[in-house]
Chain A
Amino acid sequence: MDFSPTFDLELQLEGFNGPLDMLLHLVRKQKMAIADISIAPITEQYAEYLNRMEELNLDIAGDYFVMASTLMLMKAKSMIPREQEAFEEMREELIFQLEEYEKVLTQAGKLRERHKEISRSFPRSYKEKIEKEDWEFKVGDNGAFLLVEHYARVVERRKALRPILIRPKPYTMKDVLSLLFSVFAEKRKVRFSALARVRERGFVVYLFVSMLELVREGALKATQTDTFSEIILQRRTIFTEEKQEQLVARFE
Chain B
Amino acid sequence: MNTDFKATVEALIFASDSPLSVDKIARVLEVERTLVQAAVEELSVDCSHRGINLFKLAGGYQFMTSRRFYPMVLKMKDTDRSLSLSQAAFETLAIVSYRQPITSQEVAAMRGVQSVSNILRNLQALELIRIAGRKDVIGRPMLYRTSQKFLELFGLNSLGDLPSLEEIGVNDS
A-B contact count (CB 8 A): 110
- Assess the A104–B91 pair: CB atoms within 8 A: yes
Q: Which residues of A in the span 100-147 have a Cβ within 8 Å of any Cβ on B?
A: 100-112, 114-129
Given A121-B53, A122-B77, A124-B14, is A106 in contact with B88 using a C-beta cutoff of 8 Å?
Answer: no
CA distance A21 to B36 in the complex (A): 48
- Assess the A18–B113 pair: CB atoms within 8 A: yes
Looking at the complex, which one of A19, A114, A129 makes contact with B155 (CB distance below 8 Å)?
A114
B5 at interface (Cβ–Cβ under 8 A)? Answer: no
- Assess the B64–A123 pair: CB atoms within 8 A: yes
Given A119-B80, A121-B53, is A18 in contact with B64 using a C-beta cutoff of 8 Å?
Answer: no
- Assess the B63–A123 pair: CB atoms within 8 A: yes
B residues in contact with A128, CB < 8 Å = 17
Interface of B is mostly: mixed
Closest partner residue, chain A, to B87 (CB atom): A17
A residues in contact with B125, CB < 8 Å = none
CA distance A21 to B57 in the complex (A): 33
Given A103-B170, A119-B80, A126-B17, is A110 in contact with B113 using a C-beta cutoff of 8 Å?
Answer: no
CA distance A240 to B157 in the complex (A): 88
Closest partner residue, chain A, to B116 (CB atom): A18
B residues in contact with A115, CB < 8 Å = 82-83, 153-155
Against A, the Cβ 8 Å flags (1 = close, 0 = not) of B150-161 are 000111100000
B residues in contact with A117, CB < 8 Å = 67, 155
Given A114-B156, A121-B65, is A97 in contact with B112 using a C-beta cutoff of 8 Å?
Answer: yes
Q: Closest Cβ of chain A: how far from B12's Cβ, in Å?
A: 13
- Assess the B70–A120 pair: CB atoms within 8 A: yes
CA distance A112 to B87 in the complex (A): 9
Looking at the complex, which one of A18, A106, A114, A121 makes contact with B165 (CB distance below 8 Å)?
A106
B81 at interface (Cβ–Cβ under 8 A)? Answer: yes
Q: Which residues of A in the span 36-62 have a Cβ within 8 Å of any Cβ on B?
A: 61-62
B26 at interface (Cβ–Cβ under 8 A)? Answer: no
B residues in contact with A62, CB < 8 Å = 114
- Assess the A121–B66 pair: CB atoms within 8 A: yes
Looking at the complex, which one of A63, A107, A121, A127 makes contact with B113 (CB distance below 8 Å)?
A63
A residues in contact with B94, CB < 8 Å = 104, 107-108, 110-111
B73 at interface (Cβ–Cβ under 8 A)? Answer: yes
Closest partner residue, chain B, to A23 (CB atom): B112
CA distance A104 to B66 in the complex (A): 31
- Assess the A123–B90 pair: CB atoms within 8 A: no
Q: Closest Cβ of chain B: how far from A60's Cβ, in Å?
A: 12
B21 at interface (Cβ–Cβ under 8 A)? Answer: no
Looking at the complex, which one of B14, B77, B110 makes contact with A100 (CB distance below 8 Å)?
B110
CA distance A127 to B17 in the complex (A): 6
- Assess the B168–A110 pair: CB atoms within 8 A: yes
Closest partner residue, chain A, to B70 (CB atom): A120
A67 at interface (Cβ–Cβ under 8 A)? Answer: yes
CA distance A139 to B123 in the complex (A): 39
- Assess the A112–B90 pair: CB atoms within 8 A: yes
Looking at the complex, which one of A105, A114, A122, A129 makes contact with B154 (CB distance below 8 Å)?
A114
- Assess the A101–B83 pair: CB atoms within 8 A: no
- Assess the A122–B65 pair: CB atoms within 8 A: yes
B40 at interface (Cβ–Cβ under 8 A)? Answer: no
Residues of A within 8 A of B (CB): 17-21, 23, 61-63, 66-67, 97, 100-112, 114-129
- 19 extra interchain contacts, Cβ-Cβ under 8 A, other than A61-B113, A129-B17? A17-B111, A18-B88, A19-B113, A20-B112, A23-B112, A61-B114, A103-B165, A104-B111, A108-B91, A109-B90, A111-B90, A111-B154, A114-B163, A117-B67, A118-B57, A118-B154, A121-B65, A123-B62, A123-B64
